[in-house]
Chains A and B, each alone.
Chain A
Amino acid sequence: MGLNAPLPVLARAPTPLPATSDWTFELIDRYHEVIRLAAERHGLDTYPNQLEIISSEQMMDAYASLGMPVNYRHWSYGKEFIATEKRYRRGYMGLAYELVINANPCTTYLMEENTTVMQALVIAHAAYGHNSFFKGNYLFRMWTDASSIIDYLVYARNYVAECEERHGLGAVETLLDSCHALANFGVDRYRRPSRRTLAQEIAQRQAREAHAQQQVNELWRTLPVGEERAKSSPAAWHFPSEPQENILYFFEKSAPLLEPWQREVIRIVRKVAQYFYPQRQTQVMNEGWATFWHHRLLNSLYDEGHLGDGAMLEWMTSHTNVIYQPPTGHPAYAGINPYALGFAMYTDLRRICEQPSEEDRAWFPDIASSPWLPTLDYAMRNYKDESFIGQFLSPRLMREMRLFAIRDDELQSKLEVTAIHDTAGYQQLRQCLSQQYDLGTREPNIQIWRVNLRGDRALTLRHTQHRNRPLSDSSIEVLRHASRLWGFSVTLESVDDAGTVTRTWTVDAPI
């Protein structure tokens, strides 16, 4: 970014842009142009933009396939589409105004139903807010390759279609079901994948398929192991030698009975899950950033005379709805609104830079009174939800949102309020909220534990409980999927804080 402050406006627009309810392509172009200039003055670094107009049906379509414009076929997307369509038709839900794909160029889909001003809002929000976040945030830079994702999905769709043709719809469907059940456990949390182009992807797949089945690993060795060696290292019989967190990856590489194409499909599901992994970790930051920037950019357009009062009121209504946070106990309350929290935090961050109070100086000595643009940019680039909240949630914002923490312990008959927005509670509140956004605590911690090499090849998964929280009842279903992939029986052990196994589930080998 490199800007310390927004560049000045050169000339004020003589008349505002028309704010008719029906948009035209020409009008969208004009709005886009002034928004682009405003974003440039604020130093937003984005991928090139590509705007597309879509119908509500297409929007629902994209909703259903994980928000991607192209994806492989699966019944669950059909189910999602049917459900979305029904809710929409009956008026239970509105559709998002926009959809943005983390790709290079960054594609933003605008709904054709939007009014001109809404299109402007959406362009500022998605094409500049989200876009710059995708390009800047370290998780996205590290985990997703924006330039190849669409290509990869096209490849995935064709490959899955090819498999359906060759092996039958049913076989592919059950395989995908099993993969989807474990998709959240098909991501590398720490290891960074190498970047590949589509051509490399295909070439490597063919190479993989050719060799995968020939590979003889320790597991399926048929030659007798030398007596001495077997005796000398009993540890070698512990397979895998270390617990594996990426369950799908383990299946792809080590499940003995899978065909090459099945391994490739697992890989596809894994890749897609990996692509969405950063998104799941940066919800507050990402939405907050986009909301902050549409607010900032449209306000600056108003200052420059591009927007009239009517247009301002129109987008402000929508903006206010988006960042509305119903209080606890309100019928509409469904947890913390990520838009509200994110927007409030970035706005607050700017305030700390520009008008810090004594309290802010004490809490944020390094950023109080610093130039706000670089500070926000730094915050956007180098954090995820968990660390962002842990680092930047200010006492003032906790007071404004009147946050409070509750401990729900099944051993206690009542809930306990552990912290509120007072001096004694700030630190704890912040830590608690930060943890709430930690995927590591939100999702159960389940890892590949060992394979019984000497007997029936049974696989054991281990769930390490987080504060004694048990697994839900659907686990046994997931386990069935796991055993379908593994090909032999699978056991899941749940281990409590003290390290003792409190519960086990076992699923027999599929027939």
Chain B
Amino acid sequence: MAGKNKSIGNRERFLRRYKEQVRDAVRRAIDGRSIRDIERAEDIAIPRKDITEPQFQHGPGGARDTVHPGNTEYLQGDRIPRPQGGVGSGGSKASNSGSGDDDFLFTLSKEEFLQLFFEDLALPHLLRTQIGGNPQWRSHRAGLTQLGPLNNLSVIRSMRGALGRRIAVGRVARLALDEARAQLRALEQPDVVGQQDPGRVLVLQEEIRLQEQRLRRIPYLDPIDMRFRNRVRVPVPCSKAVMFCLMDVSGSMDLQRKNLAKRFFILLYLFLTRQYNEIDMVFIHHHTQAQEVDEEAFFHSTETGGTVVSSALVLMRQIILARYPSDDWNIYGAQASDGDNFSDDSSRCRDLLADGILPLVRYFAYVQVVEDEQKLWTEYQRLAAEHANFALGKTTAVDQIYPVFRNLFRKEEASTWD
């Protein structure tokens, strides 16, 4: 019975079967939950009657005899009042999933909760970033090769190879040399000096010279000895993302509108945490001027004044260029506003986005927290028609955020950007 989590397959099937109920429960949970702890397990209740497995069984009624233990008072022929659903039930098989009509409660793990939450959403271009035109490469060692640039030469491995080759190739010559030297030494023994055959000595000396020459001719280092450290380049999926949150904090953005924007940002943030290991967040708020702030100030500071949206876009571009080269970072932008803008500024925003920002970012989403369409909206609509990585949506109540979010980040193949 090896392995943990063996019934995970069964659990998945269970969740799949009751997906509708579970999904409803998840939706209710998101509505009721404060955003900060959205990433939490969730208790799900399913009406028990929905999940019972029917069987042919005896129902109540008819006649049945049952035997019970522990008689203390009855005699044969006694008549006793019928208890409510009690004693008489010994004959029928009790359901093992408990009794009563109470709900079947179980806990959805954090992962399952988010899985449902983000169901069939995927960030556009994500696949392309990870598999296709990969901007990042990492090289790592992959053994040795016989060809390569000299600066990769592995001296030790090359010399070891050369030594082996020299020993192997010179074996015949060395044996002959040793043989000749031994013979010569025998001839030069004092007791045989004088009886030696001078011709024979000369022959041996010649032989020795020849073999030494042969040995010298073996190259010390041959091209076939060369070994080079091999390095291969492997694509690294870029796992870093930066998310820009742009929000209007001018006087017209009241707390409720900010809250809507905040929920949208948090959804995006949660979604990104599922895709990337490392996420930077940059908060830019603006009225007539844009400013980079921390999260606390972003959501809670109150500023007043007019609205110049382009100031935030300018600042975003500056920050991207300064800190987040788009080769290394997957850049996402999310902008929330009530649509108010200084009259001439909207077309400038469009130009800024089209030329300065959209080429750098993977995705830019604009969400408007009021219904009426002003200049900014119409300009952005034109932009959305031209750029696939730009999307916009409108939301005026908390419960509309999710659909808008879904629409914005709908799976790419199924999408038509509006």
Q: Which of B9, B10, B55, B82 is in CB contact (< 8 Å) with A408? A: B82
A336 and B13 contacting across the interface, CB-CB below 8 Å: no
B9 and A73 contacting across the interface, CB-CB below 8 Å: yes
Which residues of chain B come closer than 8 Å to A185, judged between CB atoms? Answer: 56
Assuming the contacts A336-B68, A465-B62, A470-B59, asked whether A422 and B76 have C-beta atoms less than 8 A apart, the reply is: yes
Q: Report the Cα distance A83→B106, complex, angstroms.
A: 7
Q: From residue 42 to 70 of chain B, which have CB atoms closer than 8 A to chain A? A: 51-70
Q: Does B150 contact A (CB under 8 A)?
A: no
Q: Does A432 contact B (CB under 8 A)?
A: yes
Assuming the contacts A78-B12, A417-B75, A469-B63, asked whether A403 and B68 have C-beta atoms less than 8 A apart, the reply is: yes
Which residues of chain B come closer than 8 Å to A418, judged between CB atoms? Answer: 65, 76
B74 and A470 contacting across the interface, CB-CB below 8 Å: no
Query: Of all chain B residues, which has the CB nearest A180?
Result: B53
B14 and A401 contacting across the interface, CB-CB below 8 Å: no
A407 and B63 contacting across the interface, CB-CB below 8 Å: yes
B65 and A404 contacting across the interface, CB-CB below 8 Å: no
Q: Which of A77, A173, A402 is in CB contact (< 8 Å) with B70? A: A402
Q: Does A58 contact B (CB under 8 A)?
A: yes
Q: Report the Cα distance A477→B52, complex, angstroms.
A: 10
A327 and B77 contacting across the interface, CB-CB below 8 Å: no
A435-479 vs B, Cβ < 8 Å mask (1 yes, 0 no) = 110000111101000000000000000010111111111110110
Query: Of all chain A residues, which has the CB nearest B46?
Result: A79
Q: Report the Cα distance A185→B62, complex, angstroms.
A: 22
Q: Does A328 contact B (CB under 8 A)?
A: yes
Which residues of chain B come closer than 8 Å to A52, judged between CB atoms? Answer: 1
Assuming the contacts A416-B78, A474-B52, A477-B54, asked whether A404 and B61 have C-beta atoms less than 8 A apart, the reply is: no
A397-412 vs B, Cβ < 8 Å mask (1 yes, 0 no) = 0000111111111111
B63 and A468 contacting across the interface, CB-CB below 8 Å: yes
Q: Which of B5, B59, B67, B75 is in CB contact (< 8 Å) with A403? A: B67
Assuming the contacts A78-B13, A82-B14, A402-B70, asked whether A469 and B62 have C-beta atoms less than 8 A apart, the reply is: yes
Which residues of chain B come closer than 8 Å to A182, judged between CB atoms? Answer: 56
Q: From residue 84 to 125 of chain A, which have CB atoms closer than 8 A to chain B? A: 86, 109
B67 and A429 contacting across the interface, CB-CB below 8 Å: yes
A86 and B106 contacting across the interface, CB-CB below 8 Å: yes
Assuming the contacts A78-B12, A414-B80, A416-B77, asked whether A405 and B66 have C-beta atoms less than 8 A apart, the reply is: yes
A330 and B70 contacting across the interface, CB-CB below 8 Å: yes
B1-41 vs A, Cβ < 8 Å mask (1 yes, 0 no) = 10011110111111111000000000000000000000000
A296-331 vs B, Cβ < 8 Å mask (1 yes, 0 no) = 000000000000000000000000000001111110
Assuming the contacts A405-B65, A436-B66, asked whether A417 and B80 have C-beta atoms less than 8 A apart, the reply is: yes
Query: Of all chain B residues, which has the CB nearest A480?
Result: B54
Q: Report the Cα distance A329→B65, complex, angstroms.
A: 17
A78 and B10 contacting across the interface, CB-CB below 8 Å: yes
Q: Report the Cα distance A197→B5, complex, angstroms.
A: 30
Which residues of chain B come closer than 8 Å to A422, judged between CB atoms? Answer: 76
Q: Which of A54, A74, A472 is in CB contact (< 8 Å) with B58? A: A472
Q: Report the Cα distance A303→B60, complex, angstroms.
A: 52
B75 and A420 contacting across the interface, CB-CB below 8 Å: yes
Q: Which of B88-96, B241-249, B353-361 contacts A (4 or more CB under 8 A)?
A: B88-96
Q: Does A481 contact B (CB under 8 A)?
A: yes
Q: How many residues of A contact B (CB 8 A)?
A: 91
Which residues of chain B come closer than 8 Å to A416, judged between CB atoms? Answer: 77-79
Assuming the contacts A58-B6, A61-B6, asked whether A327 and B58 have C-beta atoms less than 8 A apart, the reply is: no
Assuming the contacts A432-B65, A436-B66, asked whether A402 and B17 have C-beta atoms less than 8 A apart, the reply is: no
Query: Of all chain A residues, which has the CB nearest B79?
Result: A414
A158-187 vs B, Cβ < 8 Å mask (1 yes, 0 no) = 000000000001000100010011101100
Give chain B nearest CB distance to A73 CB in angstroms. 5
Among A82, A408, A429, A472, chain B packs the most CB atoms within 10 A around the CB of A408
Assuming the contacts A415-B81, A444-B58, A469-B62, asked whether A420 and B71 have C-beta atoms less than 8 A apart, the reply is: yes
Q: Does B104 contact A (CB under 8 A)?
A: yes
Q: Report the Cα distance A412→B80, complex, angstroms.
A: 11
Give chain B nearest CB distance to A421 CB in angstroms. 7
A403 and B69 contacting across the interface, CB-CB below 8 Å: yes
Give chain A nearest CB distance to B13 CB in angstroms. 4
Which residues of chain B come closer than 8 Å to A420, judged between CB atoms? Answer: 71, 74-76
Give chain A nearest CB distance to B110 CB in angstroms. 16
Query: Of all chain B residues, which has the CB nearest A55?
Result: B4
A414 and B82 contacting across the interface, CB-CB below 8 Å: yes
Query: Of all chain A residues, which has the CB nearest B78?
Result: A417
Assuming the contacts A79-B14, A408-B82, A475-B56, asked whether A336 and B67 have C-beta atoms less than 8 A apart, the reply is: yes
B1 and A469 contacting across the interface, CB-CB below 8 Å: no
A64 and B58 contacting across the interface, CB-CB below 8 Å: no
B63 and A181 contacting across the interface, CB-CB below 8 Å: no
Which residues of chain A come closer than 8 Å to B88, judged between CB atoms? Answer: 406, 408, 415
B1 and A75 contacting across the interface, CB-CB below 8 Å: no
Q: Does B84 contact A (CB under 8 A)?
A: no
Q: Does A62 contact B (CB under 8 A)?
A: yes
Which residues of chain A come closer than 8 Å to B5, judged between CB atoms? Answer: 57
B62 and A407 contacting across the interface, CB-CB below 8 Å: no
Q: Does B116 contact A (CB under 8 A)?
A: no
Q: Report the Cα distance A472→B52, complex, angstroms.
A: 14
Which residues of chain A come closer than 8 Å to B77, judged between CB atoms? Answer: 416-417
Q: Report the Cα distance A477→B61, complex, angstroms.
A: 20
Q: Report the Cα distance A116→B362, complex, angstroms.
A: 61
Q: Does B301 contact A (CB under 8 A)?
A: no
Q: Report the Cα distance A185→B88, complex, angstroms.
A: 25
A328 and B68 contacting across the interface, CB-CB below 8 Å: yes
Q: Does A433 contact B (CB under 8 A)?
A: yes
B53 and A444 contacting across the interface, CB-CB below 8 Å: no
Assuming the contacts A82-B106, A325-B70, A327-B72, asked whether A442 and B11 have C-beta atoms less than 8 A apart, the reply is: no
Give chain B nearest CB distance to A193 CB in angstroms. 23
A401 and B61 contacting across the interface, CB-CB below 8 Å: no
Q: Does A342 contact B (CB under 8 A)?
A: no
A474 and B10 contacting across the interface, CB-CB below 8 Å: no
B82-120 vs A, Cβ < 8 Å mask (1 yes, 0 no) = 100001101111100110000011110000000000000
Give chain B nearest CB distance to A389 CB in angstroms. 9
Q: From residue 37 to 84 of chain A, which have CB atoms closer than 8 A to chain B? A: 52, 54-55, 57-58, 60-62, 64-65, 69, 73-83
A73 and B13 contacting across the interface, CB-CB below 8 Å: yes
Among B12, B67, B90, chain A packs the most CB atoms within 10 A around the CB of B67
B55 and A184 contacting across the interface, CB-CB below 8 Å: yes
B69 and A401 contacting across the interface, CB-CB below 8 Å: yes
Q: Which of B54, B60, B66, B97 is in CB contact (< 8 Å) with A181? A: B54
Q: Does A424 contact B (CB under 8 A)?
A: yes
Q: Which of A73, A328, A436 is in CB contact (< 8 Å) with B10? A: A73
Q: Which of B6, B9, B54, B67 is in CB contact (< 8 Å) with A404? A: B67
Give chain B nearest CB distance to A277 CB in angstroms. 14
Which residues of chain B come closer than 8 Å to A425, judged between CB atoms? Answer: 76
Q: Which of B6, B10, B58 is in CB contact (< 8 Å) with A75? A: B10
A335 and B11 contacting across the interface, CB-CB below 8 Å: no
Q: Which of A78, A411, A421, A473 is in CB contact (< 8 Å) with B71? A: A421
Q: Give the top 8 A-B pairs by smallest Cβ distance, nearest first.
A: A327-B70, A469-B62, A78-B14, A78-B10, A477-B54, A472-B59, A75-B13, A408-B88
In the complex, 8 of the A-B residue pairs with CB atoms within 8 angstroms, ordered by the A residue number, are: A74-B10, A81-B7, A406-B88, A415-B88, A417-B79, A424-B76, A472-B57, A472-B59
A421-B71, A471-B58 known, 18 other contacts, Cβ within 8 Å: A60-B7, A81-B7, A86-B106, A86-B107, A403-B71, A407-B64, A408-B63, A408-B65, A408-B87, A420-B71, A420-B75, A425-B76, A429-B67, A432-B65, A442-B93, A469-B64, A474-B52, A474-B57
A contact set with B: CB distance below 8 Å: 52, 54-55, 57-58, 60-62, 64-65, 69, 73-83, 86, 109, 169, 173, 177, 180-182, 184-185, 325-330, 333-336, 401-422, 424-425, 429, 432-433, 435-436, 441-444, 446, 463, 465-475, 477-478, 481
